[in-house]
Amino acid sequence: MRLVGEFLRGHTETVILSILNNGDNYGYEISKIIKNASKGIFNITQATLYNALKRLLKEELITNYWKDGLNGTRRKYYAITEKGKLVLEECRRDWHLIRHFLNDLIGGTYER
Amino acid sequence: MKDKLKEYVEKEFEHVKQTKEILELKEEVYGNLCDQYEEFIQVGYDKEEAYLETIKSVGSFHKPDSSLAYFTRRTTIVLSIFSIFYALLIPTVFFLIGIYGIIIQLLSVLIYVIFYSVGLFRKLEKLDTKNYYLLKNNLKIHLFYFVTMFIFPISLLFNLGSHYIFYLSFVLIFILLVSYLLIFFIDTLWITEGDYKVLDYIKKHLEIIYMGVVIGIISSYDFFSSLSNYNVNPLYLVLGIGLFLLSLSSLIMKSMTHITKTNLIIRIIAYIYFLGLSILSIYDILYGLNVIILLLPFSILYGISLYLKRQSKAQKITSILNQIGFIGIQFPLILYFVGGLSPFAYLLYFTHTTVYFGPYFYKLFPFVIVVGVLICLLVWIQFKKSPIEQKIIETIKTIFYIFLIDIIHHKLITLFMGNKDTIRSQSAVIPYDIKITLNAYFVMIFITYLIFNKIKVKY
């Protein structure tokens, strides 16, 4: 499990874009999806999540808006932008490529 | 528990400028934490466990810098060992060279703060939040009592004239000092909370013995026998009760992690009482002048600055109350400390130094400078990373203290001493009703202390 955290940490922003591509969402739900998908191995802190979201906002890959939540609290929802969708597509293409050569490199099946 | 979560979020961002972005971030983080907390509760965690698990998920929003937090562990340990040896030297120095010993004592308190801050920052860095707040609160209480108790034995020696009391006080204070340092040292070594609690238990009981035997019995006896034998200006008794209320409310506040309606009401009553008292004391030259001229305008000014700085209404109210309370408790001690009733005055007399008072008080200027520099340094360390508003507030506070020392000292010395020769007669130095007031204050502190020890402290 040593590599999981490292890998995910390097792809936090892509993961967030991918989650938002399935629909608008807010901080806690995003972190929960990540945690569940990684079978509890990767527990993203709020600070890490916030910094990643901040970078995505700055690059205009996502936008945000407030919505009333339960118990009188407000939730800040995030939505992917058109630019974000394009970047996500690009990242997904890169990921397929990376996945193949990492399979070979780490799995030891590469050609000499 | 959600209030506690809110408080946690506030603390996480308390030293950051409260921009619109930060306010929104706080709201967002708080909302997320509430959701997470609810989920923990639903799956069967109890409230405390759910709270701790929830705050673990926060992480750190602050970027690392080269501050104290990043001292290495080895450095911290070396510094702690040094501080213990340093403290062990204090008693010798204190007895041998009087005034210089006390200056070293002040320096040592400063050093403890620095060294212990290093340890606390390291805890914060490791996100050991529970321990961090536990120790932070304890440190505040320790320093408060440490400073207070340091003044007691010397005052008792000269007020009541018993050298045995002085030696007893000294031995107990020394034991306390060493136990504090052991706790700090052990804590720095990351020994468990259980070990810490055992030491804290021993220390607390030593304190109670000290306060009970030395302050409680002796001072109470002196106070009540004085009451039965002399006509006492009732204003001073009223002041004593006011101070008691302030001390009590402040200690209750210190023992709480957040404001409840009960402790807020107690504080409000105490402050109304204290302010009413100040108005009453217009008719009294000594307390009237000092309280009205010095204390209140500053409290108002400082209170306004804090009011403007804080965000929520509850925080605004607490800021003002805390400030007035702090000055209210410190004021009599400062008055005692510098106003011709000072232990320094007697020590100077005792050690036959050439420094005298009254119109000659400017000769004390180097001492005032030393104290001023120490206060400034402490303030600088505490608020190194704070926003500009906080720095301004602390600067005002520091200047105030330095001026207060000078002005009160001058006023009281000229009122009661007249000239340097009168210092050689103790009866001329301390008007009897003031002496009684001070003893009343000690009694009140003692009662407050015992009550405080009975209150379950929540961290």
State the pLDDT at residue B433.
42
Domain boundary among B205, B229, B253: B229
Residue B52 distance to chain A (closest CA, Å): 14
| Confidence band of B94 (pLDDT split at 50, 70, 90) | very low
- C-alpha–C-alpha distance, residues B399 and B365, integer Å: 15
Tell me if A75 and B58 make a contact (CB, 8 A cut-off): no
- C-alpha–C-alpha distance, residues A20 and A15, integer Å: 9
In a domain? residue B294: yes
Using CA coordinates, name the residue in chain B closest to A26: B32
Q: Is A69 on the interface with B (CB under 8 A)?
A: yes
The percentage of residues in chain B with a pLDDT greater than 70, rounded to a whole number, is 11
For tokens 């018993």, name the residue. Answer: B162
- Minimal Cβ distance to B34: which of A45, A47, A73: A73
In a domain? residue B61: no
What pLDDT digit, counting tens, does each position of B397-444 carry?
545 444 444 444 444 444 444 444 443 343 333 344 444 444 444 444
Residue B146 distance to chain A (closest CA, Å): 38
Using CA coordinates, name the residue in chain A closest to B22: A50
In a domain? residue B62: no
Query: Coil, strand or helix: which one is A57?
Result: helix
Q: Is A95 on the interface with B (CB under 8 A)?
A: no
| Confidence band of A62 (pLDDT split at 50, 70, 90) | very high
Tell me if B59 and A43 make a contact (CB, 8 A cut-off): no
B226 has pLDDT over 60 = no
Q: Is A71 on the interface with B (CB under 8 A)?
A: yes
State the pLDDT at residue B158.
44
B39 has pLDDT over 80 = yes
- Total count of residues recorded for chain B: 459
Mean per-residue pLDDT over chain B, rounded? 52
What pLDDT digit, counting tens, does each position of A65-112 carry?
888 776 667 888 999 999 999 988 988 888 888 877 777 777 777 666
Whether the predicted interface score ipTM is above 0.90? no
Averaged over B375-392, what is the pLDDT? 52
User: Identity (one letter) of the amino acid at A98?
Assistant: I
State the pLDDT at residue B179.
58
In terms of pLDDT, which residue wins out, B162 or A29? A29
Assess whether B77 and B46 both reside in one domain. no
Domain containing B291 equals 232-459
Residue A72 distance to chain B (closest CA, Å): 10
Using CA coordinates, name the residue in chain B closest to A42: B57
In a domain? residue B49: yes
C-alpha to C-alpha distances, B192 to B138, B186, B195, nearest whole angstrom: 16, 9, 5
Tell me if A75 and B31 make a contact (CB, 8 A cut-off): yes
Half-sphere exposure of B45 (CA within 13 A, CB side): 15
Q: Is A26 on the interface with B (CB under 8 A)?
A: yes
State the pLDDT at residue B52.
75
Using CA coordinates, name the residue in chain A closest to B24: A76
Domain coordinates in residue numbering, chain A: 2-107
What pLDDT digit, counting tens, does each position of A2-55 carry?
555 556 667 888 889 999 999 999 888 898 888 888 777 777 888 888 888 888
Q: Which of B6, B245, B256 is nearest to B140 (CA)?
A: B256
Q: Is A93 on the interface with B (CB under 8 A)?
A: no
Using CA coordinates, name the residue in chain B closest to A53: B25
Q: Is A50 on the interface with B (CB under 8 A)?
A: yes
- Minimal Cβ distance to A46: which of B24, B27, B29: B29
State the pLDDT at residue A75.
85
Assess whether B354 and B417 both reside in one domain. yes
State the pLDDT at residue A80.
92
Assess whether B86 and B50 both reside in one domain. no
State the distance between the two ends of chain B, measured CA to CA, in whole angstroms: 12
Assess whether B107 and B170 both reside in one domain. yes
- C-alpha–C-alpha distance, residues A7 and A9, integer Å: 5
In a domain? residue B32: yes
- C-alpha–C-alpha distance, residues A99 and B67, integer Å: 41
Averaged over B128-133, what is the pLDDT? 47
Give the residue numbers in B contacting A (CB under 8 Å), as ranges: 24-25, 27-36, 57-61
Token digits of residue B106: 């002040």
Token digits of residue B344: 């320094």
B46 has pLDDT over 70 = yes
Question: Best residue in B5, B33, B35 to probe A by mutation, most A CBs within 10 Å?
Answer: B35
Assess whether B224 and B237 both reside in one domain. no
In a domain? residue B278: yes
Among the residue ranges B51-65, B82-96, B270-284, B331-345, the one predicted with the least confidence is B331-345
Domain boundary among B56, B77, B99: B56
Assess whether B249 and B362 both reside in one domain. yes
The third-level CATH classification (topology) of the domain covering A2-107 is Arc Repressor Mutant, subunit A (1.10.10)
Give yes or no for a contact between B219 and B443, defined as CB atoms under 8 angstroms apart: yes
| Confidence band of B268 (pLDDT split at 50, 70, 90) | low
Q: Is A76 on the interface with B (CB under 8 A)?
A: yes
Rounded to 5 degrees, φ, ψ at B386 are -85, 160
Tell me if A47 and B61 make a contact (CB, 8 A cut-off): yes
| Confidence band of B276 (pLDDT split at 50, 70, 90) | low
Averaged over B6-25, what is the pLDDT? 74
Q: Which of B416, B357, B406, B440 is nearest to B159 (CA)?
A: B440
How many structural domains are present in chain B?
3
Assess whether B210 and B265 both reside in one domain. no
Assess whether B202 and B253 both reside in one domain. no
In terms of pLDDT, which residue wins out, B94 or B177? B177
Assess whether B318 and B401 both reside in one domain. yes
How many Cβ pairs within 8 Å bridge chains A and B? 47
B108 has pLDDT over 80 = no
| Confidence band of B340 (pLDDT split at 50, 70, 90) | very low
- Minimal Cβ distance to B28: which of A27, A31, A71: A27
In a domain? residue B344: yes
Assess whether B203 and B299 both reside in one domain. no
Using CA coordinates, name the residue in chain A closest to B2: A71
State the pLDDT at residue B364.
45
Q: Which helix (H) or strand (E) holds B208?
A: helix B193-210
Domain boundary among B177, B210, B229: B229
